[in-house]
Chains A and B, each alone.
Chain A
Amino acid sequence: MYTLLSGLYKYMFRRDEYCILILGLDNAGKTTFLEQTKTRFNRTYKGMSLSKITTTVGLNIGTIDVGKARLMFWDLGGQDELQSLWDKYYAESHGVIYVIDSTDEERLSDSKRAFEKVVTSEALEGVPILVLANKQDVETCLSIPDIKTAFSDCINKIGRRDCLTQACSALTGNGVNEGIEWMVKCVVRNIHRPPRQKDIT
C-alpha cells in the first residue's frame, strides 16, 4: 500500500531535470540571455539589472520549470582560455544553446570555429542544439540568412540531431520564449539522453 501511494506521489510530483549548456564567444550575450530567461519563466524572480552584467569567469547557473520539465542552465565563460572548460560539461548536458553575436561580423569566423568544435564533439552526439542569433535589436546586425550562409559548411557536420536557428534579442526578450519552448520539446523527446529524475521536496 505504501509503495502504491508513494509511487503515485512520485508520479504526480516528479520532475524531469535536464541540463542545458549555454555556449558562445565572449560578449555574445549568454549571461544576459540566462537572466532574461530566468525573469521570464520564474514569476518570483526579480533578477539583476541586465546592464550590470559583466564578463563571466566561471559558471552561472539558473533553473526554470516549464511544464513537467525542470531546466538547469549552465552558463560558461566564452573567452578563448575558458573554452577549454566547455568539454568537461558535455557528458552531462541534455541540450546546448549556442549564442552568436549578430553584430560582430569580424569574429563570426571565430564563432564558427568554436561552433564546429562543439558539434563535432563525440560527447555531444545527438544532443539538440539551439543556435541563437542574438542582438537582433541592433539595427546594423546580420540577419538569419546571412548567418546561415556563414555557417553553411557546418551543416553536414551537425549530424543527426535537432537544430534550430532562432533570431533573438536577450536584451528585449524577443525570441527567448520561442527558443526555450523549442528546447524543452527537443530534450523531452530525445530518448538517447534520459533526464535526471528528481522529487520535489
Chain B
Amino acid sequence: MGLFDKLAGWLGLKKKEVHVLCLGLDNSGKTTIINKLKPSNAQTQDIVPTIGFSIEKFKTSSLSFTVFDMSGQGRYRNLWEHYYKEGQAIIFVIDSSDKLRMVVAKEELDTLLTHPDIKHRRIPILFFANKMDLRDAVSSVKVSQLLSLENIKDKPWHICASDALKGEGLQEGVDWLQDQIQAMKT
C-alpha cells in the first residue's frame, strides 16, 4: 500500500531499499555469501548450485538490500544483462583458488563493464576474493592484478578477502557498500 509505505518512510520506520546484483562464475560462492548475510534464523544449511537466479533480502543498519543472486553457470550468464538496469550496486564474487578460470572471470567482468547499461553509470562494485581459507588461494591484491581492476576508472570499487563458509570479511565489504550507496543517493 502506497500510503502506509510513505507514512512509514516519513516516520523513519522503513529502511531505504536498494537493488544489488550478485555476479561471478559458478562455484565461486555467491549464494553462500548472500546466505551468510541473512539473519541466522533465515539461513539455509545446504547450498546447491543456483539455477537461473534467486532473490534474497537482508537488512543492514540503515539499508534494506534486495539481492539478485544470479547463477554463474555458463549457460545462464546471458541472463545477467537483463538485470543490469535495475542494479544500484554490484557484488562480484571471485574464487581466489581457481587460478585457471581467473581469465574467464576477467572476461565476464570486462563484458559486464562495457555493457551500455553499466558503462556510464557510476555504481559501486564490491569484489569478494572468496575462498581465502583454501591453501592455494591468492591474495586479494593479486586477484585485483589478475583481473586488472585498475582499468576501472569511473566507478568506485573495493576488494575484500573473504571466507564465506566462516563469514569472515563479509561484513567489512557490506559496510563499504552501504557507505557508498548512501553517499551516492544524496
Report which A residues bind B (CB closer than 8 A).
19, 44-48, 52, 54, 56-61, 72, 74, 81-82, 84-85, 88-89, 92
Contacts and interface: CB of A to CB of B under 8 A. Distances in A.
Nearest to A48: B179
Contact of A47 (B159, B160, B183): B183
A60 B156 contact: yes
Nearest to B129: A57
Contacts of B144: 58, 85
B17 interface: no
Contact of B127 (A48, A56, A58, A89): A58
Contacts of B60: none
A131 to B, nearest CB: 23
Contacts of B122: 61
A145 B140 CA distance: 38
Interface stretch (B27-35, B63-71, B79-87, B147-155): B147-155
B91 to A, nearest CB: 13
B183 to A, nearest CB: 6
22 contacts: A19-B153, A45-B183, A46-B186, A48-B183, A52-B179, A54-B175, A54-B176, A56-B158, A57-B140, A57-B141, A57-B159, A58-B149, A58-B158, A59-B150, A61-B154, A61-B155, A61-B156, A81-B141, A84-B145, A85-B145, A85-B149, A89-B150
B182 interface: yes
A31 B183 CA distance: 13
B118 to A, nearest CB: 15
B107 interface: no
Nearest to B157: A58
A54 B145 contact: no
Contacts of A88: 150-151
A48 B156 contact: no
B139 interface: yes
A89 B183 CA distance: 24
Contacts of B158: 56-59
Given A47-B186, A59-B156, 18 more contacts: A45-B186, A52-B179, A54-B175, A54-B176, A56-B158, A57-B158, A57-B160, A58-B127, A59-B149, A59-B153, A60-B156, A61-B154, A81-B139, A81-B141, A82-B141, A85-B145, A85-B150, A88-B151
Contacts of A54: 172, 175-176
Contacts of A92: 153
A105 to B, nearest CB: 27
A56 B124 CA distance: 13
Contacts of B155: 59, 61
B120 to A, nearest CB: 10
A88 B158 CA distance: 17
A173 B81 CA distance: 42
Contacts of B179: 48, 52
Interface centre among A58, A60, A61, A88 (most CB of B within 10 A): A58
Contacts of B156: 58-61
Interface in B116-153: 122, 127, 139-141, 144-145, 149-153
Nearest to B175: A54
A84 B141 CA distance: 9
A72 to B, nearest CB: 8
Contacts of B176: 54
A85 B143 CA distance: 12
